[in-house]
Chain A
């Protein structure tokens, strides 16, 4: 009984490691672990149950992510797989790992601010300064709250003039 329990624990650990290689199709430097969308991994008999949560309600990448997780598990020989999606508690950029934030900056996307700044509904409310991922200047301006994907806003650096994406706080 103890051996089986250790076996399950080890298998679950190996699945967490395996998922480090499954990436977000829209932001391919981030794994699903970095993104913080894997909420739970459990094994019931021979069934692997992976619980994920969407970043944004309409994020079209979720279906691809589910499929990629399934493929990665199939390749490792798991046959009985269930991907469950839960909405609560709601995903927040606070769950993006520190490693993930570093990877984002290196990729040219400004990572979400470490201090969670929730968007205010007030018109023209000032946002906290966003650092340019290229020249590190804080002298940047918001171009649009809506960028190339649901999770990003468009900014431009006033110093090096580089336009860049910001992974907005959520």
Chain B
């Protein structure tokens, strides 16, 4: 159970860090100033969540092995691609604004329903982080939903780009509900209902896509997976190379 708890905490942390880092790549490049600020604020929230989860994971790792000397920084900056457990969706490159919005929307809705259950779980620290983060995730769901509708029900160009983004990213959504071994152990110990999360996610996504004059790709049932157990797409390596370059070149550097 202890190892599964560490893995699950790292999964939550890695998801938040990697999508947070992806969003931060928009800093200074957003379509308009207000949205540049919005997406980087969302980054900040997600990286803040990641810090909380990493701090807890580091504490658990150090309790198991006093030699480990794990910290939030070593977990974020000194692990390799195969150690990262984030879902493939979160590492997907930004693409255009429609791709970024779709990625955020799919992910935030997942986080929203997952954290709703985690906030009542028997692990006090995970519950405390979930309660706090849920307030922020609510804003992310609202913001990304509004953009989905604005783009889908916008111009011909925005509609076709959003449609392309949904077709492109849909195959990465199944992994979110495809439980890894460590999730299965945690979910049954904490009475987390994966089917409920999946149903709520599908119904929310379906509703917003309808408002956006689009549909979920019903025929696309095949899904990519592997991220949760460290088998990633080629994109993660490039992301880590950039994100970790400073700590790799100057270990322990502070500024």
B145 interface residue per 8 A CB criterion: yes
CB distance from A165 to the nearest CB of B (A): 12
Partner of A121, one of B131, B145, B148: B145
A120-B138, A145-B143 known; A57 and B52 CB under 8 Å?
yes
CB distance from A76 to the nearest CB of B (A): 28
B51 interface residue per 8 A CB criterion: yes
Q: Give the segment of B4-12, B38-46, B71-79 that binds chain A.
A: B38-46
Contacts of B69 in A (CB 8 A): none
Complex Cα distance A145/B138, Å? 11
Partner of B37, one of A86, A124, A144: A144
Would B139 and A119 count as touching, CB distance under 8 A? yes
Would A58 and B138 count as touching, CB distance under 8 A? no
A35 interface residue per 8 A CB criterion: no
Residues of B within 8 A of A (CB-CB), count: 36
A119-B135, A120-B142, A146-B38 known; A57 and B48 CB under 8 Å?
yes
A27 interface residue per 8 A CB criterion: no
- Compute the total of residue contacts between A and B using a CB distance below 8 Å: 93
Would B141 and A121 count as touching, CB distance under 8 A? yes
Q: Mark A132-149, 1 if CB is under 8 A from B, else 0.
A: 000000000001111110
Contacts of B135 in A (CB 8 A): 90, 118-119, 170
Would B41 and A87 count as touching, CB distance under 8 A? no
A57-B51, A150-B45 known; A121 and B34 CB under 8 Å?
no
Partner of B45, one of A56, A143, A154: A56
CB distance from B151 to the nearest CB of A (A): 12
Contacts of B83 in A (CB 8 A): none
Contacts of B118 in A (CB 8 A): none
Contacts of B124 in A (CB 8 A): 88
B47 interface residue per 8 A CB criterion: yes
CB distance from A169 to the nearest CB of B (A): 9
Q: Mark A69-94, 1 if CB is under 8 A from B, else 0.
A: 00000000000000000111011000
Would B35 and A144 count as touching, CB distance under 8 A? yes
In the complex formed, the residue of B with least CB distance to A152 is B41
A160 interface residue per 8 A CB criterion: no
Q: Mark A87-125, 1 if CB is under 8 A from B, else 0.
A: 110110000000000000000000000000011111111
Contacts of A59 in B (CB 8 A): 44, 48
Would B142 and A150 count as touching, CB distance under 8 A? no
In the complex formed, the residue of B with least CB distance to A57 is B48
Complex Cα distance A166/B153, Å? 29
Would B41 and A88 count as touching, CB distance under 8 A? no
Partner of B133, one of A57, A86, A121: A57
In the complex formed, the residue of A with least CB distance to B142 is A121
Contacts of B35 in A (CB 8 A): 144
A121-B112, A145-B143, A148-B37 known; A58 and B51 CB under 8 Å?
yes
In the complex formed, the residue of B with least CB distance to A86 is B128
B90 interface residue per 8 A CB criterion: no
Would B142 and A58 count as touching, CB distance under 8 A? no
Contacts of B51 in A (CB 8 A): 57-58
Contacts of A150 in B (CB 8 A): 41, 44-45, 136
Interchain Cβ contacts under 8 Å between A and B, 19 examples: A57-B49, A58-B46, A58-B48, A58-B49, A59-B44, A59-B48, A86-B128, A87-B125, A87-B132, A91-B132, A119-B135, A121-B145, A124-B149, A125-B142, A144-B35, A144-B37, A147-B37, A148-B37, A150-B136
- On B, residues with C-beta under 8 Å from A are 34-35, 37-38, 41-42, 44-49, 51-52, 112, 124-125, 127-129, 131-133, 135-136, 138-139, 141-143, 145-146, 148-149, 208, 211
- On A, residues with C-beta under 8 Å from B are 54, 56-60, 86-88, 90-91, 118-125, 143-148, 150, 154, 170
The 8 closest A-B pairs by CB, nearest first: A58-B48, A57-B48, A88-B128, A123-B145, A146-B38, A146-B41, A58-B44, A87-B128
